[in-house]
Structure 1
Amino acid sequence: MIPANTTGEGGTTVVYGAQPAAGEPGPPVLDLYLDLRCPYCRRMENALGETTQRLADTGEVVLHHHFGTFLDDQLGGHGSHRALAALGAAADVGQPQFMAYLRTLYRNQPSEKHDGLAEERTLLGLANEVDGLRGDSFDEAVSERVYDTWARQVSRAFDRSGVAATPTVVFRGRPVAVLDSAGEAVPPERFTAQLHDAAE
């Protein structure tokens, strides 16, 4: 099973934003490499998520999300993987639901040493906060782990990407700083200034 709103071989990249018709040019791609248990990803998403979504909504960029699950290996547990599978179910419902659920997962992210996102009741409970997400199709996909195989493929694609840490953001082949030297998210204006510089 491959969710809707994905691209690449096996649908391993989740897309948010305009998807032009075949052969038609589209907005430049902003690549985001994330792990759903990563606390630094949470900081970035909480501070810059609205900015990246607005850039996609206005057609300035299209967001390509690449997800790793390496924190499951490092810390033990299944939270990154099972949250990713649930996020795939959200992507299948629609782009708005995917983005809102991604934001909700990060906003409610447990301590990285606590494997709370591995719990079905947690994933379904957080889905209640997203308009239009809960329904028989989504609930069954989460409870039956319909997108588990897809999540493993997404994780393997991340491992092959050469990206060594999360969060990593790339625009026009150039890395974009999203955290400062203290590990805090950069201000939105500094983030967007880097994108404008890369476009020149």
Structure 2
Amino acid sequence: MSEKNREGKRAARERLAIEREKQKARERRRRALIVASAVVGVLGLAAIAGVIAANSGGKKESSGPVVVPKGASGQDSLSIPEGKDSAKSTLAIWEDFRCPACAQFEEMYRKTIHELADKGQLKVEYHLATIIDKNMGGKGSLRAANAAACAQDAGMFTPYHDVLYKNQPEETDDAFGKNSKLIELAGQVDGLDTDGFKKCVDDGKHNSWVEKSNAAFEKGGFKGTPTVRLNGKDIFGDQNNPLTPEKLKKMVEDADK
């Protein structure tokens, strides 16, 4: 590997670490604000309601009962699978489509993950979260996750998932909060831009499922997104032993022997 490539990958890992620390800081500020609001609430319940609404991104968009996307798997059918069930290794990834660190993770590891899944060596379980909506306001995390679930119904989750990350707006820009944008991006996936997909997106068909997925993420005690576990072990975020595509590939190949 050339020195230039090593420097590039080192810089990418450093950017990921910085984004994760920023996300943790935002979560600490959010929690502090909620605690402060509870104290203020002794003097005015109306003020509490306003602060909580602001921090939860506004009115929920649940639309009735939980509708599970086709082929969803895992506990409570809250994960979207990629790869073969016969694979000896399972990679569980918790992501938020508005999360910059998630986009950087995808940029760095996408090719390796898809390659291992295509070879039958790795099964991937995608779990969708909406923590940026809560931290920053807006609906982009929720609506993008719903649109991805609609793509799963059409058997095109993986390519649409990749398109969303390749076209991720700035974290403060809630562009994914517009269904028209999500439908426009579907045009980059052959065969996805159909009336059925558009209706699924506009109706928020899987909103309640996404909210249930995010609730499971919050109850899981995870530190932030992306959270990445290989065969149950957290393999991402350790700055003393940073993950690389080569290390991931070796771990999976060793397990496959």
- Shorter-chain TM-score bucket reads 0.7 to 0.9
Of residues 247, 250, 254, the one that matches 1:190 is: 247
Give a deviation string over 1:96-138, Cα, whole Å, max 9, x none: x111111110000000011111101110010000112111211
Are 2:156 and 1:90 aligned? no
Q: Cα RMSD (Å) of the superposition?
A: 2.1
Structure 1 residue 172, shift from structure 2 partner: 1.8
Amino acid at match of 1:65: Y
Contact 2:121/2:253 (<8 A) preserved = no
Amino acid at match of 2:99: C
Contact 1:171/1:198 (<8 A) preserved = no
Mapping 1:100-111, distance limit 5 Å: 100-111=159-170
Are 2:72 and 1:15 aligned? no
SS at match of 1:63: strand
SS at match of 2:80: strand
Mapping 1:100-139, distance limit 5 Å: 100-139=159-198
Larger radius of gyration: 2
1:32 match = 93
Structure 2 unaligned segments of length 5 or more: list them: 1-66
Provide TM-score, normalisation by structure 2.
0.68
Structure 1 residue 59, shift from structure 2 partner: 0.8
Structure 1 residue 142, shift from structure 2 partner: 0.5
User: Residues of 1 paired with 2:250 and 2:221: CA distance?
Assistant: 26
Structure 1 residue 88, shift from structure 2 partner: 0.4
Contact 1:176/1:195 (<8 A) preserved = no
Contact 1:5/1:16 (<8 A) preserved = no
Question: In 2 relative to 1, CA 130–178 (structure 1 residues): closer, same or farther, beyond 3 Å?
Answer: farther
SS at match of 1:6: coil
Structure 1 residue 86, shift from structure 2 partner: 0.5
Provide TM-score, normalisation by structure 1.
0.86
User: Residues of 1 paired with 2:175 and 2:187: CA distance?
Assistant: 17
Contact 2:121/2:256 (<8 A) preserved = no
1:22 match = none
1:148 match = 207
The structure whose residues are more often helix, as a share, is 2
User: Residues of 2 paired with 1:46 and 1:78: CA distance?
Assistant: 23
Are 2:120 and 1:63 aligned? no
2:158 match = 99
Of residues 132, 136, 140, the one that matches 1:79 is: 140
Structure 1 unaligned segments of length 5 or more: list them: 20-24
Equivalences, count: 190
User: Residues of 2 paired with 1:186 and 1:42: CA distance?
Assistant: 16
